């Protein structure tokens, strides 16, 4: 069975809400186990045991949160061992043009440095799911779709 790990940081609850909807989407794919964890409850072993890793963070000054960055910084201890795992990202921000894309790219950049396969999207929300404030229905659907796409890719690669 393929395993998807969804890691999130959330102060207001917006990113947390998104994380659980991403999980709903991933669970739509058969043969996939989905685990959702807060970043401060996530270990390096959790990263190693996952086939797909989806990270979510609020946007802080155009970057991921310090807690998520601390986990990524700690992951230097397992550098090279996340290679070929599937990765994706999501974020919530305070408004439009406030750094959501750069936040997503900062997460994806770390995944690429680890040699992970990054799941993008051609139509819309190319770098991952994003919401402004409390996610609305359309933004939650984008989260659900992100989870489903990543789980589908993980399942295909796991075959």
Per-residue model confidence as pLDDT tens digits over 34-75: 999 999 999 999 999 999 999 999 999 999 999 999 999 999
Axis-axis angle for helices 137-158, 14-26 (nearest 10): 40
Per-residue model confidence as pLDDT tens digits over 103-132: 999 999 999 999 999 988 888 889 999 999
Boundaries of domain holding 28: 2-158
Residue 84 sits in a domain whose CATH number is 3.40.50.360
Residues 6 or more apart in contact with residue 149 via CB below 8 angstroms = 25, 88, 119, 121
Q: In this predicted structure, what is the pLDDT of residue 119?
A: 82
pTM attached to this predicted model: 0.97
Closest Cα to residue 85, out of 55, 37, 48?
A: 48
Looking at the structure of the chain, the number of domains it has is 1
Beta-ladder partners of 52: 4, 86
């Amino acid at each position: 069975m393929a395993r998807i790990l969804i890691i999130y940081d959330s102060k207001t609850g917006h990113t947390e809400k998104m994380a659980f909807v991403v999980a709903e989407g991933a669970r739509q794919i058969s043969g996939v186990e989905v685990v959702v964890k807060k970043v401060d409850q996530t270990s390096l072993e959790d990263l190693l045991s996952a086939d797909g890793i989806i990270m979510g963070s609020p946007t802080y000054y155009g970057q991921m949160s310090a807690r998520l960055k601390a986990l990524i910084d700690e992951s230097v201890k397992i550098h090279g061992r996340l290679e070929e795992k599937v990765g994706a990202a999501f974020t919530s921000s305070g408004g439009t043009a406030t750094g959501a894309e750069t936040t997503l790219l900062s997460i994806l950049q770390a995944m690429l440095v680890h040699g992970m396969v990054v799941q993008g999207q051609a139509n819309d929300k190319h770098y991952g799911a994003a919401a402004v404030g409390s996610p609305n229905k359309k933004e939650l659907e984008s989260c659900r779709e992100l989870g489903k796409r990543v789980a589908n890719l993980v399942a295909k690669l796991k075959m």
